[in-house]
Amino acid sequence: MKNRHGWFLVSALLLLLAGCGGLKAPPSPATPAAGTAPSAEQPVPPAGEQAPPAPQTPQAAAENSIGALGPRPVMSENKAVIALLDRASSDNGAGKQDAAEASLERALRIEPRNPWLWLELARVRLARGQYAQAITLARKSNSFAGGRHRVQAENWQLIGQARVAQGDAAGAEQAFKRAEELARQAGDEH
């Protein structure tokens, strides 16, 4: 499949680039179980001098900035929604994607404008390989984000991942850059 090959190439490229910072190649749902080994080469900074910051791939940068934000804020004030999110999460972990989607849709009936719910639904679609749907759902999540940079960052990261899987490397890069920028803004807010 064309997508698979394209991803493999990009993945290999990223592996090479992931060297200096000792970074893992970024995990992606389309990954064929490869590419998490860190590169062997690591330049040692001369004593007393700070090494210049290692160039990260946009995908890695996005992931790092979002990771640096720590755990998510409270996703909902409504306990019913939280209960359904928990259920969806455990179903998803157990590979029961239909059940996870059903729980997320139930939650969406209670809070139709909760961006986290749309993001989680987008994630399930991404895991299923429905990339176009994943992107649209992430956009829909963004439309409700209303200045909440954290969720916007995660949405753009997801869009990037979907585009990678679709073979749209340029679009993916744009998305990851946006994600990183938003994550930075979210970090500044704290």
Partner 1 sequence: MTSSQTPPQDPTPAAEPTPAETANPAEETSQGETGGSVPPPKKSRFGIRLPGKRVRVAFLLLLLGLSGYVYYLDATIREAFEGRKFALPARVYGRALEVYPGLKLTREQLVEELKSLGYHDNPQLQEPGTYRLTMTGIEFTSRDFVFGDGSQVSQHLRAEFADGKVSALQTRGASDADLALFRLEPPLIGGIYPGHNEDRELVRLAEVPKQLTDALIATEDRKFYTHWGVDPRGVARAFVRTVTGQRVEGGSTLTQQLVKNFFLTSERTLTRKANEVLMSGLLELHYSKDEILETYLNEVFLGQDAGRAIHGFGLASYYYFDRPLERLAPQEVALLVGLVKGPVVYDPRRHPKEALARRNVVLQEMASQNVLPQAAAAAAIALPLGVVERAPAGTSPYPAFLQYVHRQLQRDYREEDLRSEGLRIFTTLDPFVQHQAEDALKSRLAEIERARRFKANTLEGAVVVSSTQNGEIQAMVGGRDARFAGFNRALDSERPIGSLAKPIVYLTALEDPQHYTLVTPLDDSPLVYRQRGAADWKPQNYERTFHDKVQLRVALAHSYNVATARLGIDLGVDRILDKLPQYGIERKPPPYASSLLGAYGLAPVEVAQMYQTFADGGFRTPLRAIRDVVAADGKPLQRYPLNVEPVAAPGPVYVLTAAMQGVVREGTAQAMTNYLPAEMNVAGKTGTTEDLRDSWFAGFTGNRVAVVWVGRDDNKPSGLTGASGAMTVWGEMMKNLPTEPVQPAMPEDVELVTVDPVTGVRYDEGCKSGMVLPFIKGSAPAETVPCAAGFAAASAAPAASAVAAASSVAPVQTTAAKPAVKQAEGKKSWFQRLFN
Tokens of 128: 């299923």
Q: How far is the CB of 146 from partner 1 (least distance, A)?
A: 6
Give the residue with the Cβ less far from partner 1, 24 or 140: 140
Give the residue with the Cβ less far from partner 1, 32 or 146: 146
Give the residue with the Cβ less far from partner 1, 14 or 121: 121
- Terminal C-alpha separation, the chain: 44
Report the distance separating Cα 75 and Cα 55, nearest Å. 33
Q: How far is the CB of 77 from partner 1 (least distance, A)?
A: 9
| Binding interface with partner 1 (CB under 8 A) | 78-80, 82-84, 98-99, 101-103, 105-106, 108-110, 112-113, 121, 133, 136-137, 139-140, 143-146
Give the residue with the Cβ less far from partner 1, 18 or 159: 159
Q: How far is the CB of 144 from partner 1 (least distance, A)?
A: 5
Report the distance separating Cα 41 and Cα 105, nearest Å. 46
Give the residue with the Cβ less far from partner 1, 60 or 119: 119
Look up residue 47 and give its DSSP letter: T
Q: How far is the CB of 107 from partner 1 (least distance, A)?
A: 9
Q: How far is the CB of 20 from partner 1 (least distance, A)?
A: 35
Where are the alpha helices (H) located in the chain, listed in sequence order? 2-17, 58-68, 79-93, 97-110, 115-127, 131-143, 149-166, 169-189
Q: How far is the CB of 79 from partner 1 (least distance, A)?
A: 4
Give the residue with the Cβ less far from partner 1, 103 or 161: 103
List, as own/partner pairs, every contact residues 104-110 make where C-beta atoms lie below 8 angstroms and the sequence separation is at least 24, other chains included.
107/80, 107/81, 110/78, 110/80, 110/81, 110/84
Report the distance separating Cα 69 and Cα 151, nearest Å. 11
Torsion over CA: 161, 122, 85, 184 (sign): positive
